[in-house]
Amino acid sequence: MNLNRKLSLAALAIGLLAVAGEVAFGQLLVHVQGPAPNLTIFSGTPTGGPNPVVNSNSRLRYKKWLTPTKITVSTNCPGQSFNLKVVATGVTVGLAAPEVSLVSGTPGIDFITGIPAGFLGQADATLKYTATATYQQGNSIDFGNDIHVVTYTLVAQ
């Protein structure tokens, strides 16, 4: 197989990945790992309200791209009753944005910014979720659980 042929096949492979990037290639560039976080608020104090609960059991793996990029976060949670925040910790490439409040239906909010250009360089961060609630917001027996589909998106910066 001559060099031209090899280059063609390599380019074809990359091209196909790029075209199919909506799903498979997209997840190759940004991938959530670990068990689905499950946060249960079960105690509280009279003056402080229900005690927040933290979960840091999942991670985000992402790759550098040909241009500078950033990662945004958004959620879809119909009928959201309680509060959920997330922040990136242990970020190996880029800069963690301040803690983000996840509100269903709002556009993507900066999560990790300043990811420099590169080609598929591996990076990762821990996803630190914090669930909070007020007494006024009630409980899951009355209102059901909040089930968020949290999406992380790599976009050009």
Partner 1 sequence: MDGRVTSIACLLLFLASAGSAQIGSDNHTVTVRVAQITTLQLNVGSVSMSITGVGLQAGQDTMTAMNQSTMMLWGTNLNNVKTTVSTNLASPRFTLKARAVNNTAGTAAVERVLSTTPGDFLLNIGRSQGTSTIQYTGVARAQQGTGVDNHVITFTVQSQ
Interacting residue ranges for partner 1, rule: CB under 8 A: 4-5, 7-8, 11-12, 14-19, 21, 25-32, 36-47, 49-50, 55, 58, 62, 65-67, 69, 75, 81-82, 84, 129, 131, 133-142, 145-156
- Min dist CB 22 to partner 1, Å, is 9
Q: Is 83 within 8 Å of 53 (Cβ atoms)?
A: no
How far apart (Å, rounded) are the C-alpha atoms in residues 13 and 10? Answer: 5
Judged by beta carbon, residue 81 or residue 126, the one nearer partner 1 is 81
- Min dist CB 2 to partner 1, Å, is 8
Judged by beta carbon, residue 65 or residue 96, the one nearer partner 1 is 65
CA distances from 16 to 20, 98, 122 (A): 6, 36, 21
CA distances from 41 to 16, 44, 47, 126 (A): 45, 8, 16, 21
- Min dist CB 98 to partner 1, Å, is 19
- Min dist CB 11 to partner 1, Å, is 4
Judged by beta carbon, residue 50 or residue 96, the one nearer partner 1 is 50
Residue 11 burial by CB count (10 A; 0-12/13-18/19+): exposed, middle or buried? exposed
